[in-house]
Amino acid sequence: QANLGEQEQENLEILISSTRSLLSLVNNILDISKIEAGKVELEIEDFEIRKLLKEIENISYIKAEEKALDYKTFINPNVPEFLRGDPSRLKQIILNLVNNAVKFTMKGQVHIYVDVLEEEEERVKLMVKVHDSGIGISDDGKKRLFQLFSQVDTSTTKNYGGTGLGLSIAKRLVMLMEGDIGMESKQDRGSTFWFNVWMGISSTTATIPEPLDKKLVLDETTFKKLNILLAEDNEINQKIIQYSLTNAGYDVDIAKNGQEAIDMYHKKSYDLVLMDVQMPVLDGYEATAHIREMESTILNNTHRIPIIALTANAMKGDREKCLDAGMDEYLSKPFTPNDLVGIIRTVTE
């Protein structure tokens, strides 16, 4: 990008913006289609709520920082550290609300509040609020919210973009979790979107959570330069991912298949592996198993390298298959550079 002329730079920015809009549209339509067909099932597991909120900050903060917004997350100490529910869908709901807030806020703040409304012996009612100082919504516009392909008015689409699917998806997912969702807003004075859902209290032993009030921005105080091994057979994907990581300040080596990844892992010390699942010669599952075996037999489990699965598979059970194979995290394609950098920071911090 640095060597492009002014017109080329402008054209590239238009292309990137259009690509992101198309990616968002395709993902949202796929989600709506699955929800409407009744093919979305909650995948219940234990998870750390503060870690999940930190992942959301890693993804969303960069966009908020571009607008100089005051972006913060506040979580009441009464919220259990470990909950039991579907973390992926919970994260999707919060991200939809946060992305909406950032998009419609030109100055001021976007704040996330997490609290417990009710508590029973084995579960809690989790309340999440996303407050912004954005453009707000008129009383007439409120009636159309949460409807498919609906936005407040045509000028909203013209000025801010979007398809009107995000809030509809969030509402349907909250309903799937047997919760409630709503909003309070005044035009030109900002909005507060909220939802509550029941979550089980996990019996997992809690760890001391890290504070969430620090800014998660790629600067000299928080950025950690890493040597990353990318195992990916598709040349276009190689170039895109390598460019995104190099642009973020990481060093990247590329393996064209699982066997090559194992050989490179033998020869050089890496901080992280990005592992495509479907590759020739040796796939990502087999390559991961080999690496974990080496860590066990040769290193006596004194070192465990983080491995993130990169996969086009996003159906029920795919994430569990990756984790069972020994991978630490899972990122489904297509994804944005912010998604990639966010998950890297999550597993390496």
| Contacts of residue 43, Cβ cutoff 8 Å, sequence gap at least 6 | 86, 88, 89, 316, 317, 319, 320
Cα–Cα distance between 228 and 218 in angstroms, integer? 17
Say if residue 49 is in the same domain as residue 186.
yes
Q: Is the pLDDT of residue 95 over 60?
A: yes
Say if residue 246 is in the same domain as residue 142.
no
Q: Are 80 and 157 in contact (CB under 8 A)?
A: no
DSSP 233-287: --HHHHHHHHHHHHHTT-EEEEESSHHHHHHHHHHS--SEEEEESS-SSS-HHHH
Say if residue 26 is in the same domain as residue 56.
no
Domain assignment present for residue 254? The answer is yes
Last residue of a domain, one of 184, 201, 218: 201
Domain assignment present for residue 219? The answer is no
Say if residue 239 is in the same domain as residue 296.
yes
CATH number, residue 99: 3.30.565.10
Domain assignment present for residue 220? The answer is no
Joined tokens for residue 112 = 């996330």
Say if residue 65 is in the same domain as residue 197.
yes
Domain assignment present for residue 218? The answer is no
For the residues 197-207, what does the mean pLDDT come to?
78
How confident is the model over 319-332, as pLDDT tens digits?
888 989 999 998 98
Domain assignment present for residue 209? The answer is no
How confident is the model over 100-123, as pLDDT tens digits?
899 889 999 999 999 999 999 899
Cα–Cα distance between 196 and 180 in angstroms, integer? 5
Instruction: Provide the residue range defining the domain that includes 152.
Output: 41-201
Cβ neighbours of 136 (radius 10 Å) = 18
Say if residue 55 is in the same domain as residue 166.
yes
How many domains does the structure of the chain reveal? 3
CATH number, residue 275: 3.40.50.2300
SS3 (DSSP) at 48:
strand
Say if residue 13 is in the same domain as residue 55.
no
Domain assignment present for residue 221? The answer is no
Say if residue 60 is in the same domain as residue 20.
no
Cα–Cα distance between 177 and 199 in angstroms, integer? 9
Say if residue 77 is in the same domain as residue 5.
no
Domain assignment present for residue 59? The answer is yes
- How long a stretch of residues is the chain? 349
Say if residue 178 is in the same domain as residue 257.
no
Say if residue 283 is in the same domain as residue 165.
no
How confident is the model over 150-160, as pLDDT tens digits?
454 544 443 44
For the residues 119-134, what does the mean pLDDT come to?
94
- pLDDT top residue among 59 and 270: 270
Cα–Cα distance between 321 and 77 in angstroms, integer? 33
Domain assignment present for residue 213? The answer is no
How confident is the model over 236-248, as pLDDT tens digits?
889 889 988 998 8
Say if residue 47 is in the same domain as residue 195.
yes
